């Protein structure tokens, strides 16, 4: 089916997502069930259902405007901050619905951290950038606790050796790649269970990108990671599972290897081979 | 010849010049068969400029030298006793000019005045005719000169561009030179004042008592700046205490919390406050706020003057609220959305985000806005004239009447003034002081705001 035919399709039509199971199934961390997102009257995301496995990297790929970033923001309710945006459906994390209106979004966002497209360190010192989350959530009981959290987070993000002697210097003075790792460290500092990454390397040069990708692979040991990316090769390098979105539909999802080597859908195949997108 | 006819003639002449230039360029093109460098309109405009500028120069020169020539013409008719006294000469001159212009004067016309006036009107008539002839000659000369230059390789377009550049430069030069002129004249008068009163006594004196000579006490009086400066400072501080929290919080609400609809209505409404003339605030202070504060003082057992530093400060604060809020709003809106997302993404609430991320990021800009507001408060006049009570004494009590630098300038320059006495000249010294204070505040504020703007670009 062509892209235009899909765009013109009436809403009632349901396109079933092609799902390929993992050869060695993992425990599910988050289970999205029939999620719809609306911007005003426009439906931007149609009945997306997907299971995100724990302690692994899931990549969302697809052409611009396909709804992958919108879907990512459902996991920490960042869509709440956008005027006129409405999310319908269930997002179960460990059996509780993230999308429930009674959910405390402030606590949720400590459990589901986020790293943004452009590095966005606060105009504060490196130390205060990391300490920001623990301070607002009252995690640290003493100054030495906080120091330990800062050191631990920076070490995890592979930045400790580079910045340990200048923790009081502004975070905005670091290079782009260091800034992005600072943002990752900042997210780690509140000990999240899930880390969302929205095109984390799109503003970085190839060397900084390689460092961040290496970091993502290390973080997989302890965190559930969901990454949105425009780079096919990045998705192949860092992710365990890949989900392909197209015009607001989840077209195909499965182990990264099988998606890239043996796509079942023509649209997936066209996109990953560069015919369109 | 009335003005309308003059303007009409000038416009017709310019239109003619334009037309002539444009036509000449076409005929040159036809005759030589070459491609002209510029389009005909540029040749037209070029000829028109050459027609207008020399004539305008003649007019300007006439206006500059006319008073001197008039003085020379009349001077011969003045009797010796009048010519010897500068004051009488000035009066006589004014009278003669009034008679000559046909308006007449109050009182008797002396024979020498009538003679002089007749001579002056005769001279004026001749001068006018000569002027017209000269201007016309200049215009025609320019026209012919410009028209001769029209040639296929002549770059009229570039010349017109140059003329436009010169025009724009002249306009900005006028603005700048006016400022410089004002500063210099204030400066020179202030220096004259300092020949009467030692600068040390002025800047560090604690008594303000400029004894007007009309009261008969004689002497120069005392010109201590400090009571006035202190009054200005006290009122400014009170105004800031009122304006900064309210303005800043209004800005935070408008830029961070308010929905687009509310913002759309509230922002212009808030800015209406800035459009109210300050004299209206002044009588609002005098009629409403002052008596209210005074009664409030009675209730709580405080002695509050109806006209006091407090009254003036509060009302001035209200006046400055929209200024503070609209500047702060701009600055807060400039903090990138990425900062907010970063903070929300870590689980911060909206007020935590504002307190810990947005305000610190916007702080330099807000400080700049604050300084600009201070410099406005320092220079504000009407509210304090009406509401501060005009009592130039050093007091730390905000419930008492005070006086400010601006109010004192008004007092020293209203009524009968002789611009050679220190009583009036002190106004220039005060004005200069005020100018330097606000200039410094503005320079620092603009520097800070600019530095902040660069941060996110």
Structure confidence at residue B212 (pLDDT): 60
Residue B250 — very low, low, confident or very high, per pLDDT cuts 50/70/90? very high
Collapsed DSSP state (helix, strand, coil) of residue A121: coil
The closest of A259, A262, A267 to A58, measured between CA atoms, is A259
- The helix or strand, by DSSP H or E, that contains position B330, with its residue range, turns out to be helix B309-334
Contact call for residues A226 and A253 (beta carbons, < 8 A): no
For residue B453, pLDDT beyond 70? no
Q: Cβ contact (<8 Å) for A83 and B260?
A: yes
In a domain, B142, yes or no: yes
Strands A85-93, A57-61: pairing kind: unpaired
CA gap B165, B148 in Å, rounded: 24
* B124 and B12 both lie in a single domain: yes
What's the pLDDT tens digit per position in A47-94? Answer: 999 999 999 999 999 998 888 999 999 999 999 888 889 999 999 998
Report the alpha-carbon angle B424-B427-B432, nearest 5: 145
Res B446: pLDDT: 84
Question: What was the pLDDT predicted at A9?
Answer: 47
Query: Residues B214, B217, B219, B225: what is their CA dihedral angle, to the nearest 10 degrees?
Result: -80
Determine what percent of chain B is predicted with pLDDT higher than 90: 30
Q: What are phi and psi of A82, to 5 degrees?
A: -100, 125
Question: Are residues B47 and B121 located together in one domain of the fold?
Answer: yes
- Answer yes or no: do B433 and B316 share one domain: yes
Same domain, B215 and B141: no
Measure the CA–CA gap between B163 and B50, rounded to whole angstroms.
10
Distances (CA, A) of B95 to B68, B70, B123: 17, 13, 17
CB-neighbour burial class of residue A138 (10 A; exposed 0-12, middle 13-18, buried 19+): exposed
Q: Measure A14 CA to nearest chain B CA, in Å.
A: 33
Apex CA B54: angle with CA B52 and CA B60, to 5°? 100
Closest CA relative to residue B225, chosen from B444, B438, B428: B428
Q: What confidence tier does A3 reach under pLDDT thresholds 50, 70, 90? A: very low
- Judged against a pLDDT cut of 90, whether residue B154 lies above it is answered with no
Q: Assess if residue B377 is contained within a domain.
A: yes
Other C-beta atoms within 10 Å of A267: how many?
23
Question: Where does a domain end: B110, B137, B154?
Answer: B154
Report how many Cβ contacts below 8 Å link chain A to chain B: 69
The C-alpha atoms of residue B385 and residue B389 are separated, in whole angstroms, by: 7
DSSP-assigned beta bridge partners for residue A35: A48
Decide the pairing of beta strands A28-39 and A85-93.
antiparallel
Residues B236 and B105 in one domain: no
Q: Which of B73-82, B129-138, B236-245, B434-443 has the lowest mean pLDDT?
A: B73-82
Q: Nearest CA of chain B to the CA of A109: how many Å?
A: 5
Alpha-carbon distance A72 to B106, whole Å?
Answer: 90
* Residue to test with chain B: of A78, A85, A105, A106, most B Cβ within 10 A: A106
**B345 pLDDT tier (thresholds 50, 70, 90):** very high
Q: Is residue B421 domain-resident?
A: yes
Torsion angle in degrees (nearest 10) through CA of B71, B72, B74, B76: 140
Which of B66, B108, B408 lies closest to B232, judged by CA?
A: B408
At A4, is the pLDDT very low, low, confident or very high (cuts 50, 70, 90)? Answer: very low
Of B132, B154, B176, which closes a domain?
A: B154
Model-wide pTM > 0.80: no
Same domain, B98 and B236: no
By residue count, chain A amounts to 277
Contacts of B261 in chain A (CB under 8 A): none
SS (H, E, C) A39-104: ECCEEEEEEEEEEEECCCEEEEECCCCCCHHHHHHHCCCHHHHCCCEEEEEEEEECCEECCCCCCC
pLDDT value, residue B1: 53
CB contact under 8 A, B341 and A81: yes
Domain that holds residue B86: 3-154
Closest partner CB to B346 (pick from A83, A123, A186): A186
- Which residue does chain A place closest to B259, by CA atoms? A83
Closest partner residue to B357 (CB to CB) among A76, A113, A122 is A122
The DSSP annotation for B423-454 comes to HHHHHHHHHHHHHHHHHHHHHHHHHHHHHHHH
* B-contacting residues in A 88-147 (Cβ below 8 Å): 105-110, 113-114, 116, 118, 120-124, 132-133, 136-137
Contacts of B337 in chain A (CB under 8 A): none
- Min Cα–Cα distance to chain B from A132, Å: 8
Chain-wide mean pLDDT for chain A? Answer: 88
Q: Which of B339, B344, B349 sits opposite A122 (nearest CB)?
A: B339
Query: Which residue in the set B339, B347, B356 is minimally distant from A109, CB to CB?
Result: B347
Among candidate residues B242, B323, B240, B35, the one with its CA nearest the CA of residue B151: B35
Lowest mean pLDDT among A97-106, A182-191, B146-155, B209-218: B209-218
Give the pLDDT score at A226. 96
Q: Do B384 and B313 reside in the same domain of the chain?
A: yes
Judge whether B413 and B210 are in contact, CB under 8 Å.
Answer: no
Residues from chain A contacting residue B357 (CB–CB below 8 Å): 122, 132
A71 to chain B, closest Cα gap in Å: 15
B37 and B121 share one domain: yes
All residues of chain A having their beta carbon less than 8 Å from the beta carbon of residue B340 are 81
Q: Are residues B119 and B238 in the same domain?
A: no
A contacts of B339 (beta carbons < 8 Å): 120, 122-123
pLDDT in tens, B11-42: 898 899 999 888 888 888 888 888 888 888 89
- CB A116 to CB B341 under 8 A? yes
> Does residue B358 fall inside a structural domain?
yes
Instruction: Answer for the pair B323, B376: CB distance below 8 angstroms, yes or no.
Output: yes
Which domains are delineated in chain A? 27-121+194-272 (3.40.50.300)
pLDDT at A141: 85
Closest alpha carbon within chain B to A173: B455
CA distance A150 to chain B (A): 15
- Say how many residues make up chain B: 457
Q: Looking at the complex, report in whole angstroms how far the Cα of residue B451 sits from the nearest Cα belonging to chain A.
A: 14
Residue at a domain's end among B138, B154, B170: B154
pLDDT band at A2 (very low <50, low <70, confident <90, very high): very low
CA distances from B384 to A43, B51, B278, B315, B406 (A): 60, 53, 10, 9, 8
Residues B367 and B229 in one domain: yes
Find the range with the poorest average confidence among A68-82, A212-226, B127-141, B405-419: B405-419
Q: B346 and A190: CB-CB below 8 Å?
A: yes
CATH number of the domain encompassing residue B297: 1.10.3720.10
pLDDT at B317: 94
Question: What is the end-to-end Cα distance of chain A in Å, rounded?
Answer: 16
Task: Enumerate chain B positions whose Cβ falls within 8 A of a Cβ in A.
Answer: 259-260, 336, 338-349, 352, 356-357, 360-361, 455
Higher-confidence residue of A4 and B167: namely B167
Under DSSP, is residue A174 helix (H, G, I), strand (E, B) or coil?
A: coil
d(CA B343, CA B348): 6
Enumerate the residues of chain B whose CB falls inside 8 A of the CB of residue A124. Answer: 360
- Three-state DSSP class for residue B345: helix
- B chain contacts of residue A113, beta-carbon cutoff 8 Å: 345-346
Does residue B300 share a domain with residue B215?
A: yes
- Residue B408 lies inside a defined structural domain of this protein: yes
Within-domain flag for B196 = no
Give the 3-state secondary structure of residue B13: helix
B249, B373: one domain: yes
Distance in angstroms (rounded) separating the CA atoms of residues B228 and B223: 10
In a domain? residue B161: no
Please state, in angstroms and rounded to a whole number, the distance separating the CA atoms of residues A154 and B181.
61
Non-local (6+) Cβ contacts of B104 within 8 A are B98
Q: How far is A189 from chain B (nearest CA, A)?
A: 9
Give me the long-range contacts of B11-17 (CB less than 8 A, separation at least 24). Answer: B13/B51, B13/B139, B14/B48, B14/B51, B14/B52, B17/B44, B17/B47, B17/B48, B17/B50, B17/B51, B17/B52, B17/B139, B17/B143
Assigned domain for B201 exists: no
Q: Is A57 on the interface with B (CB under 8 A)?
A: no
Number of domains in chain B: 2
Query: How far B375 CA sits from the closest chain A CA (Å)?
Result: 29
Q: Residue B316: what pLDDT?
A: 94
Q: Do B346 and A123 touch (CB under 8 A)?
A: no
Q: Which H or E run contains B129? A: helix B111-149
Chain B residues with beta carbon closer than 8 angstroms to that of A109: 344-347
B352: chain A residues, CB-CB within 8 Å: 136
């Amino acid at each position: 089916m062509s892209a235009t035919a899909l765009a013109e399709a009436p809403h009632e039509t349901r396109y079933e997502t092609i799902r390929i199971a993992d050869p060695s199934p993992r425990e599910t961390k988050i289970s999205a069930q029939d999620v719809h997102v609306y911007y005003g009257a426009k439906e931007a995301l149609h009945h997306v259902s997907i299971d995100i496995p724990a302690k692994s990297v899931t990549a969302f790929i697809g052409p611009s405007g396909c709804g992958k970033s919108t879907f990512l923001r459902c996991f920490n309710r960042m869509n709440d901050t956008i005027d006129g945006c409405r999310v319908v459906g269930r997002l179960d994390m460990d059996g509780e619905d993230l999308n429930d209106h009674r959910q405390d979004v402030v606590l949720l966002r400590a459990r589901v951290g986020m790293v943004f497209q452009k590095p966005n360190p606060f105009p504060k010192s490196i130390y205060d950038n990391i300490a920001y989350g623990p301070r607002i959530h009252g995690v640290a009981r003493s100054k030495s606790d906080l120091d330990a959290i800062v050191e631990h987070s920076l070490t995890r993000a592979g930045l400790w050796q580079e910045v340990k002697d200048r923790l009081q210097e502004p975070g905005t003075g670091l290079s782009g790649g260091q800034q992005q790792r600072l943002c990752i460290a900042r997210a780690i500092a509140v000990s999240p269970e899930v880390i969302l990454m929205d095109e984390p390397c799109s503003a970085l040069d190839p060397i900084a990108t390689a460092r961040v990708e290496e970091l993502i692979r290390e973080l997989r040991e302890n965190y559930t990671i969901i990454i949105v990316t425009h780079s096919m090769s990045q998705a192949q390098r860092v992710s365990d599972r890949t989900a392909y979105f197209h015009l607001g539909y989840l077209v195909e999802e499965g182990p990264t290897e099988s998606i890239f080597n043996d796509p079942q859908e023509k649209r997936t195949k066209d996109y990953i081979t560069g015919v369109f997108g | 010849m009335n003005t309308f006819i003059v303007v009409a003639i000038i416009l017709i002449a310019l239109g003619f010049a334009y037309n002539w230039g444009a036509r000449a360029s076409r005929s040159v093109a036809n005759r030589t068969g070459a491609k002209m460098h510029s389009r005909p309109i540029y040749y037209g405009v070029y000829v028109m400029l050459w027609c207008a500028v020399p004539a305008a120069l003649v007019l300007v020169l006439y206006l500059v030298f006319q008073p001197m020539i008039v003085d020379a013409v009349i001077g011969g008719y003045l009797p010796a006793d009048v010519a010897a006294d500068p004051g009488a000469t000035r009066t006589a001159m004014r009278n003669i000019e009034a008679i000559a212009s046909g308006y007449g004067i109050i009182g008797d016309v002396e024979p020498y005045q009538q003679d002089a006036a007749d001579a002056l009107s005769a001279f004026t008539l001749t001068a006018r005719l000569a002027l017209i002839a000269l201007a016309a000659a200049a215009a025609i000369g320019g026209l012919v000169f410009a028209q001769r230059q029209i040639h296929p390789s002549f770059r009229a377009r570039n010349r017109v561009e140059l003329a436009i550049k010169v025009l724009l430069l002249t306009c900005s030069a006028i603005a700048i030179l006016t400022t410089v002129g004002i500063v210099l004249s204030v400066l020179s008068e202030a220096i004259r004042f300092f020949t009467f009163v030692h600068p040390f006594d002025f800047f560090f004196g604690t008594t303000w008592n400029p004894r007007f000579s009309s009261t008969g006490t004689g002497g120069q009086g005392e010109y201590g700046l400090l009571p006035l400066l202190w009054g200005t400072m006290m009122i400014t501080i009170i105004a800031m205490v009122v304006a900064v929290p309210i303005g800043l919080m209004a800005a935070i609400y408008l830029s961070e919390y308010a929905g687009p609809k509310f913002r759309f209505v509230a922002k212009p409404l808030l800015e209406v406050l800035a459009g109210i003339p300050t004299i209206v605030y002044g009588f609002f202070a005098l009629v409403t706020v002052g008596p209210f504060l005074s009664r409030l003082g009675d209730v709580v057992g405080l002695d509050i003057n109806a006209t006091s530093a407090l009254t003036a400060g509060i009302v001035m604060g209200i006046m400055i609220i929209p200024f503070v809020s609209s500047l702060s709003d701009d600055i807060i809106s400039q903090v990138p959305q990425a900062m907010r997302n970063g903070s929300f993404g870590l689980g911060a609430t909206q007020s935590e985000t504002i307190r810990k991320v947005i305000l610190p990021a916007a702080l330099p800009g807000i400080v700049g806005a604050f300084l600009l507001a201070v410099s406005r408060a320092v220079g504000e006049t009407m509210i304090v004239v009406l509401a501060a009570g005009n009592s130039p004494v050093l007091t730390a009590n905000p419930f008492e009447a005070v006086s400010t630098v601006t109010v004192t300038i008004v007092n020293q320059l209203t009524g009968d003034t002789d611009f050679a006495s220190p009583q009036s000249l002190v106004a220039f010294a005060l004005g200069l002081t005020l100018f330097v204070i606000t200039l410094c505040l503005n320079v620092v504020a603009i520097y800070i705001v600019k530095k902040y703007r660069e941060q996110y670009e």
